[in-house]
Every structure is written in structure tokens, then in C-alpha cells.
Structure 1
Amino acid sequence: MTAAQTHPPDPVTARPTERSRTPAQVRMARILERLNEGGSVSVTDIAREFGVSDMTVRRDLAELERDGLLERVHGGAVGLTRGPLTVIDDVEPIFEARARQNADRKARIAQAAARHVAGRKSLALDLGSTVLAAARAIVQAGPDPQLRAFSNSLRVGQLMARAGVATYMCGGLIRAEEMSLTGKEAVDGFSRYYFDAVLLGASGMTAEGVFDYSPEEVAVKTVFLQQSAECVLLLDSTKFRRISTVLIATLPQISTLITDAAPPPELALVLAESGVQVIVG
């Protein structure tokens, strides 16, 4: 029997299994997984998730950048800008699934949105899960007694009304899966009002603009946008560089973007050129 047969494989040269991955490999796999979902990652988030220092995460990002797998930016990293955009056509996840997805990111966006619109007297809110989280944050912060809320979301309307906020809705067809009011009656009803600001959700953003799934929902979003002095877009970073069925607005039509991480560099440049204020919650 030879020496090669009497000794186990060299642990240095043996191919690692999933279970034998080092902590650094696990972290880096998680970073790439997040980037593949779209958007960006932040040093703080990864450090908190794995209980390591910011410096450790920065070393991970530096190694992945050397391997050509990501691009480092201030405070974190983004996926490489080359290659096609991720296209989401007309398959809209159910509301409950969207509400659970990226819940931590949406909670940070919601808190930042509540602070941003504090003191507004007339506020439109559409039907997205992040907008619903923002409505909840506004209520928890103690809404202005003079606030009037306008929404086509039955969920948002019920939440605001129960908190004692003067809440206005409209007629229209109820989309059962979204619990939202749509159609000509909804569009005509909201077109009579003017708002200090609108909190708007979307399914994606590129340099071309902001997108969503449903033409019926976008018709109401468009009215909110046209009738508002400020359009505040609430969008988590996984939706950067994604498109969908319908264009809601071009970037110059957006006043403020509230998100959870810095946009990719090429998108950040177009946002700046379009005069969009970016707030990272």
C-alpha cells in the first residue's frame, strides 16, 4: 500500500464543501447573493448580519472587487454595471409577499419618509407595501392634527382613519389582490385635489425613469404625481436597474428618492443631473 493510500487527502488542496466554507467565504457568498438580487449592499448591514467589524467587510469587498465581481462605492458596493438589466414584465408578486420581502430595508425607508413629510398638511399615499410601512411610521410618530390623507389603498385608508387622520378616498373598481381603488372614477376623483406631497411606490428604476406593473394602478399614480407639489419616491435598493410593464415617470418628475442604500454610480449620476434629492434611510 502506498503513502497516498494510507493518508487522508490534504485539507489544503481538497475541494471545500458547502459545510467547510470559511466564514469569509460565507460572507462573500451572501454579498454576491444580495447583489444578484439587484441594488447594492452596505458595509454596515453586512457587518451587523455576521457580527464582524466594518473593516472585515471592507476587506471582503476589496477581494471581490479584485476578482471583478462587484464595484465598491462609498459605504458599500454595487453590482457591475455591465450586462443587461433585470426585466420584470407583468408578474406582480402578491401584496403579502412583497410586504415580507426586504422588510428591514422598507422599515428604514418608512422612518425616513415619515421624518421627511412631517408637517405636511395634504398628503397623497399610493398602494405599495413600502408606502403602507411609511403610513404606519407616520401614525406611530404622531401625525399632525391638521393632516389630511388621500389614498387609493384601502389598507392605508383604514390605517390612517383609525389613527384619527382625516382620510379621503374615492370611488372606483377594487382590485381585490391589492385592496386598491382603480379606474376612471378613481382617476377623476383624485384629479380634483392638490397635495403638498405624494408618497409613491414603484417596482423598478433605471436611467429612463420609474416603472410599475399595472396600467390601472399607474393611472392613479400619474394623477397623484401631477397634482402634488413634491413627488417622494420610496424605493428599496433591490429595485435599482430594474424595469417593468409601465413607465410611471421620468426621473426629472421625481423630487425626492428615499431608499436604503446608495444607487449604482451610473444611476446616481443621472439622478443628480435630473435634480432628484436622494435620502438614504
Structure 2
Amino acid sequence: MTTLGDTAPQMFLEERRQRILEILNEHSAVRISELAPQFNTSTATIRKDLEQLERDGKLRRTHGGAIKVDPNSTEVMAASASIMAHKEKVKIGRAAAAFVQNNDTFIVQAGTTDLEFIRALRGKHNLTVITNDLLIASECESISPDSTPILVGGSVRVGFHYTEGSETNMLLEQYHASVAYMCTNAFSFEHGFSTHRTEQASWLKTMYRCADRHIMLIDSSKFGINALAHHNDLPDFDVLVTDSGINEIDRSRLSQLSPNTQIVYA
């Protein structure tokens, strides 16, 4: 005869994993560091939960958490991306803003991390900001009225509020800036930086050619992931700004792989 004491732990395990999936459905992403205290359990236990749920095909693990599996798309739309790793993106944005001086001219990649970077520029003056992101251009106008946002034209990608395509790339090539502040979808030590779409990779390569210095902004949840289209490698960047979620082993690997790249852990 099975007692309640025998079945309760297993029932709790199943209930916990079901609740993790419910949270994931609500927010598109979860982080181990946030789930562990919520369920009053260890990070090792949550990591095992995510490993099993990934084997079951119910989520995809990332560095420090997991993201929702969407059979129709491998890319998270802007509304969902804005809440994923939000605290980390704010810290990264503020750390990157420290590199900006009054009167600077720079290119900014579309994305929620670079949006936080722009928001951290409040108090800076006479900036010229070149971007293909409608929200970033609008935010720049709002926080720095004496600055000049330049919105690169082209076809707007629905749900992502940025322009893209060959026309957008050709328009960007008319400009040259001192710095490009870039962000991307994925990074692995084996395959470098990559994005979910070839159009994004083409845009990022164009950005790279149009600037003298290059700063990559990427949160730790995107580490250990490979996306479809490669665009750059770590040594291509003068500065990498990420968050404190990178473990010591990976920090050492980053330094060894690209000793000339300044790594900032926000």
C-alpha cells in the first residue's frame, strides 16, 4: 500500500514542473535564480527540472534559465523580449552608457537591450544616434531633446518595430560613426555571435563596416546558444558588456579567447 508520504514528493515534483511551464507561458522566459526562491528549493533542483522539461520538448534551456518553445518561430517578439532578463538589460544598458560622451555619433542596433542603453543616456547632450529601431529613435528624442536621432528607412518588420532589408542596409552605408552599439540573439564559444535570421546578420555586418569601434551588449541568458546566421566573433569587438550571470569558467574562457576585448560585467 502506498502512503501519502511516499507519493507527496513525486506529486510536488510534477506540480512544480507544471507551474514552471505555466510561468513560462505567461512570460516567455524563466531564470533559475528567480524560480528557486519562488519554489523554496535549490537552484540544482530547478536546473534538473528544466533539463527534464527540455528532454520532454516543452522548453529550451538557456544560460541561467529557459525560454518558451514556439513551433512557428525561433525568435521572441519585441513585447515578450522586453520582459526577458529585464533587470540584466537595464544594468547592461547603464554600463554601456558610460562609454558615451557628449557630442558622440554612434549607430545603435534594434532591440530591447539597446533600448535600455538609450534610456541610460539621459543627461547626455548633442548626440547623433543612427538606428533602424522606431522605439529607440522615439526614446532618444524624448530623453535628449538636443540630440539628433537618424532613423534608417526601409520596410518595417511587423511586431518588432524596426526596418530591415537591402534598402535599409544601403541607406546605412551612407553613414560612418565612431562607435556601433550592437546586440544579438545568441553567443557560443564554438560559433561566435549569431542571429535567428539572415536579414539580421546582414544588417549587423553592415553596422560593423560603418563604425570604427564596436561594442556588443548581450545578457547571460543568450550564452551557450547557437542561432541560424553567424555575423561576428568575439575578437571583432573592442568591448563586450554583459551581466554578472556569467560563471567563472566562462569568464576565463572569454578572456583567453579574446584578450584584447574589454569585458564588462554589469
- Asked whether the two chains share a fold, i.e. TM above 0.5, the reply is yes
Match of 2:148 among 149, 152, 166: 166
Match for residue 251 of structure 1?
234
Match for residue 240 of structure 1?
223
Name the SS of the counterpart of 1:116 in structure 2: coil
Name the SS of the counterpart of 2:215 in structure 1: strand
Name the SS of the counterpart of 1:130 in structure 2: helix
Task: State the one-letter code of the partner of 1:210.
Answer: F
Work out whether 1:129 is the aligned partner of 2:129: no
Work out whether 1:280 is the aligned partner of 2:265: yes
Match of 2:199 among 216, 219, 224: 216
Q: 1:226 to 1:18 in 2, by over 3 A?
A: farther
8 Å CA contact 1:89–1:244 kept in 2: the answer is no
8 Å CA contact 1:89–1:245 kept in 2: the answer is no
Match of 1:142 among 114, 123, 147: 123
| Superposed displacement of residue 119, structure 1 | 3.9
Match for residue 169 of structure 2?
187
- % identity of equivalent residues: 18
Q: Please give the residue correspondences for 1:63-142 in structure 2 after superposition, counting only pairs within 5 Å.
A: 91-119=74-102, 121-138=104-121, 141-142=122-123
Name the SS of the counterpart of 1:101 in structure 2: coil
8 Å CA contact 1:125–1:198 kept in 2: the answer is yes
Larger Rg: 1
| Superposed displacement of residue 142, structure 1 | 1.2
Q: CA-to-partner distance for each residue in 1:98-128, whole Å, 9 max, x for gaps?
A: 1111111111111112223244611211111
Q: TM-score, normalised by structure 1?
A: 0.68
8 Å CA contact 1:170–1:185 kept in 2: the answer is no
| Superposed displacement of residue 271, structure 1 | 2.5
Counterparts of 1:114 and 1:246, CA distance in 2: 28
Match of 1:197 among 154, 173, 179: 179
Q: CA-to-partner distance for each residue in 1:139-185, whole Å, 9 max, x for gaps?
A: xx312x22100000111111112331201122211112211111222
Task: State the one-letter code of the partner of 1:158.
Answer: S
RMSD: 3.8
State the aligned residue count: 233
Counterparts of 1:132 and 1:227, CA distance in 2: 20
Unaligned runs of 5+ residues in structure 1 are: 1-8, 21-25, 31-36, 51-56, 68-77, 80-87
Match for residue 226 of structure 1?
209
Q: CA-to-partner distance for each residue in 1:198-232, whole Å, 9 max, x for gaps?
A: 22111111113111112112222211112222211
Counterparts of 1:278 and 1:183, CA distance in 2: 31
Q: 1:152 to 1:10 in 2, by over 3 A?
A: closer
Deviates more, 1:263-272 or 1:108-117: 263-272
Counterparts of 1:14 and 1:92, CA distance in 2: 39
Q: TM-score, normalised by structure 2?
A: 0.71
Counterparts of 2:176 and 2:224, CA distance in 1: 31
Work out whether 1:155 is the aligned partner of 2:108: no
Name the SS of the counterpart of 1:223 in structure 2: helix
Counterparts of 1:228 and 1:89, CA distance in 2: 35
| Superposed displacement of residue 46, structure 1 | 9.4
Counterparts of 1:89 and 1:114, CA distance in 2: 35
Q: 1:270 to 1:195 in 2, by over 3 A?
A: farther
Q: 1:19 to 1:101 in 2, by over 3 A?
A: same
Counterparts of 1:120 and 1:259, CA distance in 2: 25
